[in-house]
Structure 1
């Protein structure tokens, strides 16, 4: 797309998002219009569309912000096309999807804002999205889904579990990517998870899962998963595992289970002969939230290019924690633990202008940390994170 068309799409989307109804209403209208035109598609989605509405808004915002960055946008759209095969979406469904989305945006845009030129810009945008997704889905040569059997479920904390799954066939993914899973108790409800280690010939994947308050899937993954359960897993997505320049030093910032994709990259890097300097900041609210420090300590002690700094917001563990002591005292290879909000602590070290920066955690943590780093002088172009689904 040319810069004029991209600007029109971006301006329209942000204007609609600023309205009282907001982008969530646009997403709701989109699904209503789509299912009215293509009622057979309704059975591909869960009864509750809350998560799908949130993801549609996040994905559309991610695309709109990168319309003039084809090197970032096109691989993301191709991955999205591969991922959508899990729903049963076929090429013949895409025209209705695109038309429904334009109709929904037009319905929520102010009349004076929606001109013929804007309409053409949105049609160009939707054509770019749908064509790239279709090509990505058709050219991948991988299964639409993999079947995995749970071989281990370890409850690390009351609301956090480590789950190991063995696939029916190996999956190739870059360390740092993520994929979506479906569990038997939550049919058609797909949850994005990041493998905590690189891919392997045995087809085993380790996931770190935290139960999200009010969530549909994550509480079931943590509290009700059993060895022998059969999961479905979709094609990998994301670009954190593809550094722009491997010679540049890295700054990694992970909070909670957001450490998983960063940990996967560190394990993969430890198998190489040489690596750039890496400074990893790993954060949690309480000391017990730093649940994987033993592994990170071992990696740091064995690899001099890696520095690991733990950060907590509170030095006290919660009342419900089973042990009142520090869960990981006196571990080798780690910097002294810092106290504070992770973005503020990391930004306090300096501008990090010479680093390729990766941030992984909740959407609010990613956004806050990114803004703090930019305010401290970190160039925005150096900062990477996955779409904030």
Structure 2
């Protein structure tokens, strides 16, 4: 379903393609993760609204703006219609459109408020220390610029790839006492990153390097 959605979105709205990474595997997982979380809490506004607000503010790091949301909504409804078959009806379509309008409205407003409050879309971080406790795992320490709102046990979302590779982020479980003392996280070596390019990307996350870090994410 996610492949169909993105293929249709990029075909009908090619201008949004630059917001996404070249390798869409992780992005497709993110889409289903977000949809699953939203559906699971659809009747619990106390959980759903903060979740959507976090997504809205966080999507600023990808360059998403309010004008992009209608295209995504059209593509999402068209995808659900395609896979629903005979179960689809005008009433179902109206319900999905109304639900998406609410979701998009919350996310857009959260992004607007974050901008108005001066909240960064990303923070700058340097890597003062990197270790390799096992052949397939590296641990690293990040020193993030002041006021990074991290709490131990949250996930860090940071860039790992070359600067010219657009919007490639990885989530890592962080630990530590706060930005001043440094945040520690592990970097497993994915099987698909066994190419020379993958090795080069891993080497770039070395001591003295710099990374962009998004707002911390709560543990699932």
State TM-score, norm by structure 1: 0.51
Structure 1 contact 150–164 (Cα < 8 Å) conserved: yes
- Among 12, 19, 40, the alignment partner of 1:44 is 19
Match of 1:71 in 2: 46
Q: CA deviation at 1:132?
A: 1.5
Q: CA deviation at 1:221?
A: 7.0
1:277-315: per-residue Cα shift (whole Å, max 9, x none)?
xxxxxxxxxxxxxxxxxxxxxxxxxxxxxxxxxxxxxxx
Map 1:191-210; keep pairs closer than 5 Å.
191-200=170-179, 202=180, 204-210=182-188
CA RMSD of aligned residues (A): 2.3
Structure 1 contact 80–237 (Cα < 8 Å) conserved: no
Alignment pair present for 1:116 and 2:100: no
- Among 184, 191, 194, the alignment partner of 1:213 is 191
Q: CA deviation at 1:215?
A: 5.3
Secondary structure class of the residue paired with 1:195: strand
| Runs of 4 or more above 3 Å deviation | 215-224
1:307-336: per-residue Cα shift (whole Å, max 9, x none)?
xxxxxxxxxxxxxxxxxxxxxxxxxxxxxx
Map 1:277-296; keep pairs closer than 5 Å.
none
Alignment pair present for 1:151 and 2:128: yes
Structure 2 contact 160–170 (Cα < 8 Å) conserved: no
Q: Relative to total residues, which structure has the larger helix share, 1 or 2?
A: 2
Distance, in Å, in 1 between the alignment partners of 2:199 and 2:44 is 37
- Among 142, 146, 161, the alignment partner of 1:169 is 146
Match of 1:92 in 2: 67
Change (3 A) 1:155 1:221: farther
Secondary structure class of the residue paired with 2:23: coil
Q: CA deviation at 1:52?
A: 0.8
Total equivalences in the alignment? 213
Identify the range of structure 1 (119-128 vs 183-192) with the bigger mean alpha-carbon deviation.
183-192
Change (3 A) 1:233 1:35: same
Q: Name stretches of at least 5 consecutive residues in structure 2 with no aligned partner.
A: none
Structure 1 contact 167–203 (Cα < 8 Å) conserved: no
Secondary structure class of the residue paired with 1:55: helix
Q: Name stretches of at least 5 consecutive residues in structure 1 with no aligned partner.
A: 1-25, 241-385
Secondary structure class of the residue paired with 1:86: helix
Structure 2 contact 162–201 (Cα < 8 Å) conserved: no
Distance, in Å, in 2 between the alignment partners of 1:218 and 1:167 is 25
Secondary structure class of the residue paired with 1:128: helix
Q: CA deviation at 1:137?
A: 1.6
Map 1:213-252; keep pairs closer than 5 Å.
213-214=191-192, 225-238=205-218, 240=219
Structure 1 contact 171–203 (Cα < 8 Å) conserved: no
State TM-score, norm by structure 2: 0.86
Structure 2 contact 54–110 (Cα < 8 Å) conserved: yes
